[in-house]
Structure 1
């Protein structure tokens, strides 16, 4: 079993892309407009990319390499684009936190779909 019913897969794909878009918006919006949880920025980054990684893995279980390229590529791209912005700063540590979160999410999401009983 390595896929969900089509209606769930479609819903997960929409959610994955919307979540990635929200992360991009939060990353590039002015600091005063960024949503915050009250947790440390590293935890927020980790959890955001874990969520998006899990959604992409569950939405594209047969294309896990594609999901990984999108999630981890977005983490790298977001940090690189912050380096180019005069008011922002991209850091290797922040990218590493995003990579770790994305990787955990990809693994958990992929395993969830693999072991979820078919209904």
Structure 2
């Protein structure tokens, strides 16, 4: 039930009108832009058909009785294309005038300027979203590549001999192992956002498998402590990415 006019706030009424007319106004803009594109293409085709027909006619007066059958067929085809293009152009003109009149009525209302500003800002926002999606695609591809490279480095560092094992001198071994799995898990979580449960399960399986595989590697041995450290890094990397995404969501909605 609608309240009487004296009980309604003006800003709320304007927002209601914007919510109702905004989608219609944007749709009108899109349809008119499509009509303009089709109109330009048909006008170009009509000019080409006229030029082709004039060349087939033979002279300016159109008196040329000894045309070849193939030329006659091409002339008939060009004339048919001209008539079809002309009829479609007339239809587009009628549609354009009707839609432009509707748009003018909306723009002449009290919320016309707000609708125009909203259409411009939505266009800029859509371009910004497309740019961000393109950048996110690049980031995901780089994250996938980095994750697989880190996984290969982890496997080599775990199964190689102690003298060949790459390490960072100023880091404690536990922190080094945890950070390696944290970085790999974060890279995979960014690169494969829809497979995070699978990444967690595969990561735990990799941790356990690598600890068992060290039993067959010379000068290496796996321990439950190392498995816990690596599993901690794996969980921390996944939770870090998920937490950052959750923190960014309120900013996007506002």
Q: What's the counterpart of residue 105 of structure 1?
A: 237
Greater relative contact order, per chain length (Cα 8 Å cut-off, separation 6+): 1
Q: Unmatched 5+ residue regions in structure 2?
A: 1-132
Q: CA deviation at 1:70?
A: 2.5
How many matched pairs? 116
Asked if the contact 1:53–1:67 (Cα under 8 Å) also holds between the matched residues in 2, the reply is yes
- Give the drift of 1:114: 4.8
Per-residue CA distance 1:10-46 (angstroms, 9 max, x = gap): 1111111111111111111111111121222111111
Please, what TM-score do these two structures have when normalized by structure 2?
A: 0.42
User: Aligned residue for 2:165?
Assistant: 34
Q: Which residue of 1 aligns with 2:151?
A: 20
Larger CA deviation: 31-40 vs 99-108: 31-40
Correspondence for 1:50 among 176, 182, 189:
182
After alignment, is 41-50 or 109-118 more displaced? Answer: 109-118
Aligned to 2:140: 9
Instruction: List runs of 5+ in structure 1 lacking aligned partners.
Output: none
Task: Calculate the aligned-residue CA RMSD, in Å.
Answer: 2.1
Name 1:85's counterpart in structure 2.
217
Which whole-Å CA distance do the structure 2 matches of 1:14 and 1:28 have between them? 21
Change (3 A) 1:115 1:60: farther
Aligned residues of 2:207 and 2:231 also touching (Cα < 8 A): yes
SS in structure 1 of the partner of residue 163 of structure 2: helix
Counterpart Cα distance in 2 of 1:92 and 1:57: 25
Structure 1-normalised TM-score?
0.85
**Structure 1 runs, 4 residues or longer, greater than 4 Å off:** 113-118
Residue 11 to residue 114, structure 1, CA distance change in 2 (3 Å): farther
Whether the 8 Å CA contact 1:57–1:67 is kept in 2: the answer is: yes
